[in-house]
Chains A and B, each alone.
Chain A
Amino acid sequence: MQTGRLHRFYSRDAAICYNQSVMREPIGLYIHFPFCRRRCNYCSFVSYENREPDIPVYLECLKREISLHAGRTGLKSIYFGGGTPSLITAGQFSELLHCIRQAFVMEQHTEITVEINPGTLVPGYLNDLRSCGVNRLSIGMQSLNDDELRLLGRLHDADEALRAYRSACDAGYENINLDLIYGLPGQSIESWQQTLNLAASLDPRHLSLYCLSLETKARLAEEIEAGLQPPLDPDAAAGQYELAEGILEKRGYCHYEISNWAKPGYECRHNLSCWLMEPYLGLGASASSYLNNRRRTNIACLDQYISLVSSGASVPAEADEEIKGDLKQAEAIILSLRLEKGVDIAGFNHEYGIDLLDCYHQRITELEELGLIRHNENSLLLTPAGRLLGNEVFWRFLPEQPV
Chain B
Amino acid sequence: MDQKSIRNFCIIAHIDHGKSTLADRLIELTGALRKDKIIQQVMDSMDLERERGITIKAKAVRLSYHSRAGKLFRLNLIDTPGHVDFSYEVSRTLVACEGAVLVIDATQGIQAQTLANIYIAMEHNLEVIPVINKIDLPGSEPDHVMKEIETVLGFKSNEVLLISAKTGQGVPELIEAIVHRVPPPAGRSDLPLRALIFDSHYDDYKGVVAYIRVVDGVMETGAKLRLMGQGTHLEVLELGYFAPGPTPEDRLEAGEVGYIATGLKSVKECRVGDTITLASSGARQPLIGYELPKPMVFAGIYPTQADEYADLREAIEKLNLNDASLTFEPESSPILGQGFRCGFLGLLHLDIVIERLEREFGLSLVVTVPGVKFMVTKTDGEKLAVTSPIDFPEPNEIQKTEEPWVGISIITPSGFIGALMDVMQEYEGLYKHTEYLGQITVMGEESQRVRLEYEMPLRSMLTTFYDSLKSRSRGYASLDHEFLGYREARLVKLDVLVNELKVDAFSRIIPPEKAHDTGKSVVAKLKEVIPRQLFKVPIQAAVGSRIVAREDIAARRKDVLAKCYGGDITRKRKLLEKQKEGKKKMKMIGRVEVPKEAFLEIMKLG
Q: Which of B547-586 contact A (CB under 8 A)?
A: 554, 556-570, 573, 576-577, 579-580, 583
Instruction: Give Cα distance in the complex from A286 to B583, angstroms.
Output: 31
Closest residue of chain B to A277 (Cβ to Cβ) is B569
Instruction: Give Cα distance in the complex from A288 to B554, angstroms.
Output: 39
Contacts of A189 in B (CB 8 A): none
Question: How far, in Å, is B377 (CB) from chain A's closest CB?
Answer: 49
Instruction: Give Cα distance in the complex from A319 to B569, angstroms.
Output: 12
- Decide if A319 touches B566 in the complex (CB within 8 Å): no
**By CB atoms of chain A within 10 A, which of B554, B558, B573 has the most?**
B558
Question: How far, in Å, is A369 (CB) from chain B's closest CB?
Answer: 10
Instruction: Give Cα distance in the complex from A242 to B577, angstroms.
Output: 27
- Decide if B558 touches A297 in the complex (CB within 8 Å): no
Q: 1/0 per position for B472-515, CB-CB distance to A under 8 A?
A: 00000000000000000000000000000000000000000000
Q: 1/0 per position for A208-250, CB-CB distance to B under 8 A?
A: 0011010000000000000000000011011001000000000
- Decide if B564 touches A391 in the complex (CB within 8 Å): no
Question: How far, in Å, is B489 (CB) from chain A's closest CB?
Answer: 45
Closest residue of chain B to A400 (Cβ to Cβ) is B580
- Decide if B570 touches A211 in the complex (CB within 8 Å): no
Q: Which of A155-163, A344-352, A382-390 contacts B (4 or more CB under 8 A)?
A: A382-390
Question: How far, in Å, is B586 (CB) from chain A's closest CB?
Answer: 13
- Decide if A258 touches B560 in the complex (CB within 8 Å): yes
Q: Which of A271, A287, A321, A335 is within 8 Å of B570, CB to CB?
A: A321
* B419 is an interface residue with CB less than 8 A from chain A: no
Contacts of B573 in A (CB 8 A): 331, 334, 398
- Decide if B577 touches A398 in the complex (CB within 8 Å): yes
- Decide if A237 touches B558 in the complex (CB within 8 Å): yes
Instruction: Give Cα distance in the complex from A295 to B580, angstroms.
Output: 22
- Decide if B579 touches A282 in the complex (CB within 8 Å): no
Question: How far, in Å, is B584 (CB) from chain A's closest CB?
Answer: 11
* A30 is an interface residue with CB less than 8 A from chain B: yes
- Decide if A259 touches B557 in the complex (CB within 8 Å): no
- Decide if A388 touches B557 in the complex (CB within 8 Å): yes
* B534 is an interface residue with CB less than 8 A from chain A: yes
Contacts of A331 in B (CB 8 A): 569, 573
Q: Assuming A241-B558, A388-B558, A389-B559, is B564 touching A338 (CB within 8 A)?
A: yes
Instruction: Give Cα distance in the complex from A274 to B561, angstroms.
Output: 15
Instruction: Give Cα distance in the complex from A201 to B590, angstroms.
Output: 49
- Decide if A282 touches B566 in the complex (CB within 8 Å): yes
* A394 is an interface residue with CB less than 8 A from chain B: yes
Closest residue of chain A to B564 (Cβ to Cβ) is A338
- Decide if A392 touches B534 in the complex (CB within 8 Å): yes
Contacts of B576 in A (CB 8 A): 334, 391, 394-395, 398
Contacts of A275 in B (CB 8 A): 564
Contacts of B564 in A (CB 8 A): 258, 274-275, 335, 338
Instruction: Give Cα distance in the complex from A197 to B232, angstroms.
Output: 88
- Decide if A392 touches B559 in the complex (CB within 8 Å): yes
Contacts of A392 in B (CB 8 A): 534, 559
- Decide if B570 touches A234 in the complex (CB within 8 Å): no
- Decide if B557 touches A238 in the complex (CB within 8 Å): yes
Question: How far, in Å, is A207 (CB) from chain B's closest CB?
Answer: 13
- Decide if B557 touches A274 in the complex (CB within 8 Å): no
- Decide if B558 touches A211 in the complex (CB within 8 Å): yes
- Decide if B563 touches A210 in the complex (CB within 8 Å): yes
Closest residue of chain A to B535 (Cβ to Cβ) is A370
- Decide if B560 touches A390 in the complex (CB within 8 Å): yes
- Decide if A288 touches B570 in the complex (CB within 8 Å): yes
Closest residue of chain A to B532 (Cβ to Cβ) is A234
Q: Assuming A274-B565, A395-B576, A398-B577, is B570 touching A389 (CB within 8 A)?
A: no
Contacts of B534 in A (CB 8 A): 370, 372, 389, 392
Instruction: Give Cα distance in the complex from A391 to B573, angstroms.
Output: 10
- Decide if A391 touches B566 in the complex (CB within 8 Å): no
- Decide if B559 touches A398 in the complex (CB within 8 Å): no
Question: How far, in Å, is B499 (CB) from chain A's closest CB?
Answer: 15
Instruction: Give Cα distance in the complex from A146 to B577, angstroms.
Output: 38
Q: Which of B556, B565, B566, B569 is within 8 Å of A389, CB to CB?
A: B556
State which size class the interface on A falls in.
Answer: 35 or more
Instruction: Give Cα distance in the complex from A249 to B452, angstroms.
Output: 74
* A165 is an interface residue with CB less than 8 A from chain B: no
Question: How far, in Å, is B51 (CB) from chain A's closest CB?
Answer: 29
- Decide if B566 touches A274 in the complex (CB within 8 Å): yes
- Decide if B558 touches A235 in the complex (CB within 8 Å): yes
Question: How far, in Å, is A136 (CB) from chain B's closest CB?
Answer: 15
Instruction: Give Cα distance in the complex from A29 to B580, angstroms.
Output: 32
* A305 is an interface residue with CB less than 8 A from chain B: no
Q: Assuming A259-B562, A331-B573, A395-B579, is B557 touching A234 (CB within 8 A)?
A: yes
- Decide if A213 touches B562 in the complex (CB within 8 Å): yes
Contacts of A289 in B (CB 8 A): 567
- Decide if A259 touches B569 in the complex (CB within 8 Å): no
- Decide if A238 touches B570 in the complex (CB within 8 Å): no
- Decide if A295 touches B562 in the complex (CB within 8 Å): no
Q: Assuming A389-B534, A392-B534, A395-B580, is B567 touching A286 (CB within 8 A)?
A: yes
Closest residue of chain B to A286 (Cβ to Cβ) is B567
* A280 is an interface residue with CB less than 8 A from chain B: yes
Instruction: Give Cα distance in the complex from A271 to B567, angstroms.
Output: 11
Q: Assuming A370-B534, A398-B576, A398-B577, is B560 touching A387 (CB within 8 A)?
A: yes
- Decide if A391 touches B561 in the complex (CB within 8 Å): yes
Q: Which of B557, B558, B559, B570 is within 8 Å of A295, CB to CB?
A: B570
Contacts of B556 in A (CB 8 A): 234, 389
- Decide if A234 touches B559 in the complex (CB within 8 Å): yes
Question: How far, in Å, is B305 (CB) from chain A's closest CB?
Answer: 15
Q: Assuming A235-B557, A237-B558, is B566 touching A259 (CB within 8 A)?
A: no
Q: 1/0 per position for A297-330, CB-CB distance to B under 8 A?
A: 1000000000000000000000101000000000
**By CB atoms of chain B within 10 A, which of A290, A331, A387, A391 has the most?**
A391
Instruction: Give Cα distance in the complex from A331 to B571, angstroms.
Output: 12
Instruction: Give Cα distance in the complex from A391 to B562, angstroms.
Output: 10
Closest residue of chain B to A79 (Cβ to Cβ) is B566
Closest residue of chain A to B575 (Cβ to Cβ) is A391
Q: Which of A175-206 contact B (CB under 8 A)?
A: none
Question: How far, in Å, is A279 (CB) from chain B's closest CB?
Answer: 11
Question: How far, in Å, is A74 (CB) from chain B's closest CB?
Answer: 19
Instruction: Give Cα distance in the complex from A395 to B578, angstroms.
Output: 9
Instruction: Give Cα distance in the complex from A387 to B558, angstroms.
Output: 9
Instruction: Give Cα distance in the complex from A392 to B534, angstroms.
Output: 9
Q: Which of A389, A391, A395 is within 8 Å of B557, CB to CB?
A: A389
- Decide if B579 touches A389 in the complex (CB within 8 Å): no
- Decide if A282 touches B557 in the complex (CB within 8 Å): no
Closest residue of chain B to A213 (Cβ to Cβ) is B562
Q: Assuming A331-B573, A398-B573, is B566 touching A288 (CB within 8 A)?
A: yes
- Decide if A297 touches B570 in the complex (CB within 8 Å): yes
- Decide if B565 touches A391 in the complex (CB within 8 Å): no
- Decide if A288 touches B567 in the complex (CB within 8 Å): yes
Question: How far, in Å, is B565 (CB) from chain A's closest CB?
Answer: 6
- Decide if B579 touches A391 in the complex (CB within 8 Å): yes
Q: 1/0 per position for A349-373, CB-CB distance to B under 8 A?
A: 0000000000000000000001010
**By CB atoms of chain A within 10 A, which of B559, B560, B565 has the most?**
B560
The 5 closest A-B pairs by CB, nearest first: A288-B567, A390-B560, A238-B557, A234-B558, A238-B558
Known pairs A280-B566, A387-B560, A395-B580. 18 more at Cβ < 8 A?
A210-B563, A234-B558, A235-B554, A238-B557, A258-B562, A274-B565, A282-B566, A289-B567, A295-B569, A319-B570, A321-B570, A334-B573, A334-B576, A335-B569, A338-B564, A372-B534, A394-B576, A398-B576
| A residues apposed to B, CB below 8 Å | 30, 210-211, 213, 234-235, 237-238, 241, 258-259, 271, 274-275, 280, 282, 286-290, 295, 297, 319, 321, 331, 334-335, 338, 370, 372, 387-392, 394-396, 398, 402
- 15 A-B pairs in the complex with CB atoms less than 8 angstroms apart: A30-B567, A259-B563, A274-B569, A282-B566, A287-B567, A288-B567, A289-B567, A297-B570, A335-B564, A335-B569, A388-B557, A390-B561, A391-B559, A395-B579, A398-B576
| B residues apposed to A, CB below 8 Å | 534, 554, 556-570, 573, 576-577, 579-580, 583
